[in-house]
């Protein structure tokens, strides 16, 4: 049994290394690759995906899993959890034919390249057929996974991003939030209108100065320069590997907040990767606990900590050092500026109260795309209808409508619920951290995130995938996901 388990850990480490190579190639494609390299990059990623899939589905893997499982009682809790996650990965991979895995990698890479130009020009027709191909392959994937996992087709896709959470769990949470938002948003808007409008700092803010500020604040949060990079991309993201984390942002010389808050968000992701247990590197149990868990770590940094009053007061000093004195950097004004509620079109620019509405829209649309109730050609109209229903606004173009996000164009369907589940978990974790760290606000007032990150290292990062999402929250906070902590946070911040 021990020999079988040892062979499995070696095989999974090899697969993880292949996937790490793909992650760095994906980062390069988004940041540095010339446009003419797209086709070759698609082939490279497809071959790597095929190699990893072949490792996972090899007959020897199945034989070693069966042998190791027969003696699982000899393993400790971490290794036993690792073995169960190996089985889950093997079951998922075995359900999907290798030719479909490679076809998806090629289709996703091709569609994502077309999407970049379609988004820039607002021409959905340019990418429509490529997206239809991607969605068609996603539906094939879901149809293959569903019976093997005992899940619905859409839930089988969600399972790839956050195990143990399905549409039936998410739908009532989202429906309840929609009811909350219907009352809370007009109230927040009225309170905001009755208060002094924020004063916008005077720009321009040179991109080089913004980048230096972003690097400084990310470093002060604990992200080590020797294990990370900061670059530019169309869509900000965190990628790479736990020892070589790649984060990206974009710069607007009229608005420093977009890059700074974006980098702090991605820094939260990066800190999670850096805090995973080295003893289980390149093993399933040593990975992050899922994308909802990952989003909780980006949002507890960006929304809960960096937009708090104490941190904004400290940020004022940093802004003056970067861009020169300006009364608009005063902490109370920054709070009005960076915590302003508004009914916008862009998810990544949305405030934390309206952001879930953007996710609810995508959750409903992608379920319809997977079920076949919505065809790709009708996506722009369905998108606009949904925005009107949820937020009362209609996008003036598809650039700020259904073309704004990379996810579907890169084959990531079932991911979007993780964003709002993560926001809710972040509020719950922050409430627990405040109970455990009575001096937290004093540290935040010095732009010092180390007490918070230290608490997260113990209760989230260091736990990796040993627990599922709700069990992770239960161990850290004493209860599974409780959306009431999120609405309580919003009530205090925006309705008082």
In Å, how far are 278, 296, 297, 351, 426 from 355, measured between CA atoms? 34, 14, 16, 6, 14
DSSP string, 80-94: HHHHHHHHHHHHHHH
For residue 42, the model assigns a pLDDT of 87
Phi then psi dihedrals of residue 238, to 5 deg: -120, 125
The secondary structure of residue 279, as a DSSP letter, is G
In Å, how far are 74, 120, 390, 488 from 380, measured between CA atoms? 55, 16, 16, 34
Q: Alpha-carbon distance 81 to 68, whole Å?
A: 12
For residue 387, the model assigns a pLDDT of 98
Strands 228-232 and 238-241: unpaired
- Asked if 81 and 466 count as a contact pair (C-beta separation under 8 A), the reply is yes
Q: Alpha-carbon distance 197 to 336, whole Å?
A: 7
For residue 348, the model assigns a pLDDT of 85
The secondary structure of residue 31, as a DSSP letter, is H
**Residue 411 neighbours by CB under 8 Å, 6+ apart:** 104, 107, 108, 111, 134, 137, 138
Phi then psi dihedrals of residue 246, to 5 deg: -115, 120
Active site residue 266: yes
Q: Alpha-carbon distance 414 to 412, whole Å?
A: 7
Task: State both tokens at 490.
Answer: 């919003």
- Asked if 150 and 449 count as a contact pair (C-beta separation under 8 A), the reply is no
- Asked if 329 and 319 count as a contact pair (C-beta separation under 8 A), the reply is yes
Q: Which of 261, 233, 259 is nearest to 246 (CA)?
A: 233
Task: State both tokens at 342.
Answer: 């508004």
**Residue 323 neighbours by CB under 8 Å, 6+ apart:** 201, 205, 209, 256
User: How far, rounded to the nearest angstrom, does the alpha carbon of residue 315 sit from its chain's CA centroid?
Assistant: 25
With b meaning 16 or more CB within 10 Å and e meaning fewer, what string describes 54-69? ebbbeeebeebbebbb
Per-residue pLDDT of 25-80, as tens digits, reads 999 998 999 989 988 998 899 899 889 999 999 999 999 999 999 999 999 999 99
For residue 1, the model assigns a pLDDT of 59
- Asked if 473 and 429 count as a contact pair (C-beta separation under 8 A), the reply is yes
| 3-state DSSP assignment of residue 393 | coil
Task: Determine the Cα angle at 415 with ends 453 and 281, to 5°.
Answer: 50
* Residue appearing with tokens 């939260």: 268
- Asked if 109 and 47 count as a contact pair (C-beta separation under 8 A), the reply is no
The secondary structure of residue 244, as a DSSP letter, is E
Strand partners of residue 238: 247
For residue 236, the model assigns a pLDDT of 87
The catalytic residue among 77, 189, 226, 266 is: 266
Strand partners of residue 249: 232
Low-confidence ranges of the chain (pLDDT < 70): 1
Task: State both tokens at 200.
Answer: 């916008």
- Asked if 38 and 29 count as a contact pair (C-beta separation under 8 A), the reply is yes
Q: Alpha-carbon distance 211 to 208, whole Å?
A: 5
- Asked if 391 and 354 count as a contact pair (C-beta separation under 8 A), the reply is yes
DSSP string, 307-326: TSHHHHHHHHHHHHHHH---
393 C-beta neighbours (distance < 10 Å), count: 15
Strand partners of residue 247: 230, 238
282 C-beta neighbours (distance < 10 Å), count: 18
- Asked if 380 and 124 count as a contact pair (C-beta separation under 8 A), the reply is yes
Strands 228-232 and 244-249: parallel
Q: Which of 378, 394, 377 is nearest to 386 (CA)?
A: 394
Strand partners of residue 240: 245
Q: Alpha-carbon distance 252 to 309, whole Å?
A: 24
């Amino acid at each position: 049994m021990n020999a079988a388990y040892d062979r499995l850990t070696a095989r999974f480490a090899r697969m993880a290394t292949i996937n790490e190579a793909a992650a760095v190639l994906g980062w390069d494609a988004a940041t540095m690759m010339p446009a003419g390299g797209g086709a070759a990059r698609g082939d490279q990623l497809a071959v790597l995906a095929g190699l990893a899939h072949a490792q996972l589905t090899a007959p020897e893997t199945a034989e070693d899993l069966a042998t190791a499982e027969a003696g699982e009682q000899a393993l400790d809790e971490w290794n036993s959890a690792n073995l169960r996650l190996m089985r889950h990965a093997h079951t998922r991979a075995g359900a999907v034919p290798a030719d479909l895995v490679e076809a998806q990698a090629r289709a996703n890479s091709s569609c994502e390249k077309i999407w970049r130009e379609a988004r820039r020009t607002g021409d959905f027709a340019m990418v429509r057929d490529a997206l239809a191909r991607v969605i068609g392959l996603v539906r094939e994937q879901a149809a293959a996974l569903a019976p093997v996992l005992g899940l619905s087709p859409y839930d089988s896709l969600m399972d790839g991003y956050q195990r143990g959470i399905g549409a039936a769990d998410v739908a009532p949470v989202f429906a309840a939030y929609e009811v909350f938002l219907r009352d809370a948003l007009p109230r927040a808007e009225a309170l905001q209108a009755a208060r002094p409008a924020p004063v916008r700092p005077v720009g321009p803010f040179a991109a080089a100065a913004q980048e230096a500020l972003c690097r400084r604040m990310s470093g002060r949060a604990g992200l080590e320069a020797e294990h990370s990079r900061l670059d530019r991309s169309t869509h900000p993201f965190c990628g790479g590997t736990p020892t070589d984390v790649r984060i990206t942002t974009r710069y607007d010389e009229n608005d420093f907040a977009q890059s700074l808050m974006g980098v702090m968000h991605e820094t939260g992701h990066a800190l999670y990767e850096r805090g995973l247990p080295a003893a289980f590197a390149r093993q399933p149990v040593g990975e992050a606990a899922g994308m909802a868990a990952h989003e909780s770590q980006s949002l507890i940094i960006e929304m809960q900590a960096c937009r708090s009053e104490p941190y904004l007061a400290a940020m004022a000093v940093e802004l003056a050092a970067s861009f020169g004195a300006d009364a608009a950097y005063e902490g109370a004004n920054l709070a009005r500026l960076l915590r302003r509620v508004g009914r916008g079109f862009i998810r990544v620019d949305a405030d934390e109260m309206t952001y879930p509405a953007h996710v609810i829209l995508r959750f409903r649309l992608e379920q319809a795309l997977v079920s076949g109730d919505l065809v790709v050609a009708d996506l722009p109209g369905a998108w606009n209808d949904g925005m009107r229903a949820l937020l009362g606004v209609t996008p003036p173009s598809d650039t700020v409508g259904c073309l704004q996000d990379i996810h579907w164009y890169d084959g990531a369907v079932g991911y979007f619920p993780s964003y709002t589940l993560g926001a809710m978990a972040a509020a719950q974790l922050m409430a627990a951290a405040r109970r455990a760290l009575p001096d937290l606000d004093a540290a935040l007032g010095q732009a010092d995130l180390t007490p918070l990150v230290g608490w997260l290292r113990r209760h989230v990062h260091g736990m990796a995938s040993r627990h599922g999402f709700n069990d992770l929250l239960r161990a850290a906070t004493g209860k599974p996901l409780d959306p009431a902590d999120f609405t309580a946070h919003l009530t205090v911040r925006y309705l008082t």
